[in-house]
Amino acid sequence: MNEHVHEAMDLTKNQSLVMGALTRSKGPLSAYTILDQLRDNGFRAPLQVYRALDKLVEFGMVHRLESLNAFVACSHPGCDGDNTIAFMICEKCGQVNEITDNALAKRVKQLAGDASFALKKTTIELRGICRTCQVA
């Protein structure tokens, strides 16, 4: 059904519901939007969503977009190995593009290394207008 590598992990009921909502949606969702979408599935409180999201992020199946306070399903099977991911976020259509660029990641690590900074997580988010929205 879904070839996504991450899907192989076995998730709890709440986790798969949240994951399902995110994969169905083609863009990022806020925790509260997810909550609303899952009310029919028995979700009542934000915490149910946040708990599931925490785990999914930990598994590398979901990314958090800091500049949007929203979450998006990972679109690269192998991304969990590399925590240097960049996102291009279109401010018009809301679409998010996940990119892993080696040169970028390398430069970031270099900078951290130069400062003897023990890098744990990198957030790179590009805001702008995507190609298709520009012509329109």
Partner DNA sequence: GCAATGTTGTAATAAGATAACGTCACAGCC
Partner DNA sequence: GGCTGTGACGTTATCTTATTACAACATTGC
- Do strands 62-65 and 84-90 pair parallel, antiparallel, or not at all (unpaired)? unpaired
Closest CB 63 distance from a second copy, rounded Å: 13
Structure-token pair, residue 118: 């023990």
**CB neighbours of 38 closer than 8 A, spacing ≥ 6?**
17, 18, 21, 48, 49
Of 45, 47, 57, 46, the closest CA to residue 19 belongs to 57
Kindly tell me which of 57 and 104 has the beta carbon lying closer to DNA. Answer: 57
Interacting residue ranges for DNA, rule: CB under 7 A? 12-15, 30-33, 42-48, 50-52, 55, 69-70
Q: Does the protein bind a second copy through residue 33 (CB under 8 A)? A: no
Does position 136 interact with a second copy (CB under 8 A)? The reply is no
Range 37-96, binding a second copy (CB under 8 A): 66-67, 86, 88, 90-91
C-beta closer to DNA: residue 50 or 80? 50
Nearer to a second copy, 12 or 134 (CB): 134
Residue 106 beta carbon to DNA: minimum distance, rounded to whole angstroms: 29
Which of 108, 69, 70 has the alpha carbon at shortest distance from 86? 108
CA angle in degrees (0–180, nearest 5) for 95-98-103? 140
Q: Which does 32 bind (CB under 5 to 8 A by kind): DNA, a second copy, none?
A: DNA
| Shortest spacing between CB 132 and a second copy, in angstroms | 9
Q: Is 90 within 8 Å of 125 (Cβ atoms)?
A: no
Q: Across the strands, what pairs with 60?
A: none
| By the rule CB under 8 A, 122 interacts with a second copy | yes
